Amino acid sequence: MITQDDLQVLIAFDATPYLVYSAYVDTDMRHETLDAVKLRIRSMLKENDGMPSRDQESIEHYLDLEFDWTKPGVAIFTCAARDYFDAFPANVSFRNRLRVGPRPYVKPLAHYLDYYAHYGVILVDKLGARFFEFHLGELQRYDSALGEDVRKLKRGSGSTATGMRGGNPGARHEHEVVNRNLREMAQISADFFADSRIRRLFIGGSAETVAQFQEYLPKKLLSCIAGTFAIDMTANDSEVRDLTLELLKESNNEREHRLVEQMVTTAAKGGAATAGLEETLKAVREGRVDTLIVSDGYRAPGYFHSESGFVTSSLAFSPYPSDAIDSVDDIVDVAVARTVEQGGQLEVISNHPDLEDVERIGAILRY
């Protein structure tokens, strides 16, 4: 599993004057056979006529003999001229793409590390709960707990219209036991996630029980809740993972749209945000970017001074002579790498018209 440290190593690798081939591959076989997937990969590699045979062979050798085909995605980086090869299987699929440059193309990996980062799941009913922590689509920790048995005592002839203080001791007892169980499960939840880095939490169960359960959760966990859903308590780990990954996508999409709106509005008011390529690159080279926001698939040529980290879309903005600064095919990917190096975050956004209207790139700034 890739880590932030792995990403930093990728960012630091420079193959100049040679080229790194970065392949992001969809290996999900739920809708295709293995042979069909491999054929698609070979076709993608052959589309690059200049790819050295050693690099193509390195990728094919890895996929044939080393890759775990239960994984639905993989990112592969190779530069045979530098004896360099690395691969990172993923628990979600990537969009198929091959990028070439003196450095690894890291934008999809940086997005993957943020988008699918630590999230929690609690399944709860009147008797107990199950607790999950996922990271990058993989189950990291699991536990479960049971409370007191809920005995549904036979109702007496007295009316329940008087409420819990009135005529039905069976209903009163059941209500008290359920409340004790939910309160206990909430405390166990707090203990389970106490040292966790989850940013989002999903709670599954019946609507009534989930609503009651949330009343007992501490504020820290309440602030992480990104959604609730109906599910059977006996669902297996794979069912929980698949369902909550879809919920995670929905939650992330909503968050990303709010983020774009915040960025565009703040930039228009002259606040701590930028909109547009050169203004955003200016913030990157000044180290002010907290969150870089990029439209999915956006690429633009530009210039990069490797010694200083200077990035720009035009030589007109460069303090360096043209022979002292490198021309790059994708200055956006360089900006992503610089932002991650500086401790910033990346958001890759799909299908947001407001972002398309501001050159497909912008940033929320630290100051």
160 touches 167 (CB < 8 A): yes
User: For the domain 253-365, what is the CATH superfamily, name and number?
Assistant: Ribosomal protein L30/S12 (3.30.1330.30)
Average pLDDT for 134-155: 83
Tell me the backbone φ, ψ of residue 97, rounded to 5 degrees.
-165, 150
pLDDT at 264: 96
- State the pLDDT confidence band at 167, using cuts at 50, 70 and 90: low
User: For the domain 4-105, what is the CATH superfamily, name and number?
Assistant: eRF1 domain 1 (3.30.960.10)
Q: What is the CATH number of domain 119-235?
A: 3.30.420.60
Q: Which residues contact 337 (CB under 8 A, 6 or more apart)?
A: 11, 103, 106
Strand order in the sheet with 302-305: 310-312, 302-305, 326-328
Q: In this predicted model, what pLDDT tens digit does every residue of 68-111 receive, in sequence order?
A: 999 999 999 999 999 999 999 999 999 999 999 999 999 999 99
pLDDT at 151: 66
Q: Give pTM, 2 decimals.
A: 0.82
How does DSSP classify residue 67? Answer: -
User: What's the maximum distance between 2 C-alpha atoms anywhere in the chain?
Assistant: 94
CB-count exposure of residue 183 (10 Å: 0-12, 13-18, 19+):
middle
Q: Which residues contact 312 (CB under 8 A, 6 or more apart)?
A: 278, 281, 285, 302, 303, 318, 331
pLDDT at 170: 64
Q: In this predicted model, what pLDDT tens digit does every residue of 334-353 receive, in sequence order?
A: 999 999 999 999 999 988 89
3-state secondary structure 206-248: CHHHHHHHHCCCCHHHHCCEEEEECCCCCCCHHHHHHHHHHHH
Q: In this predicted model, what pLDDT tens digit does every residue of 283-315 receive, in sequence order?
A: 999 999 999 999 998 999 999 998 999 999 999
Residue boundaries of the structural domains of the chain: 4-105, 119-235, 253-365
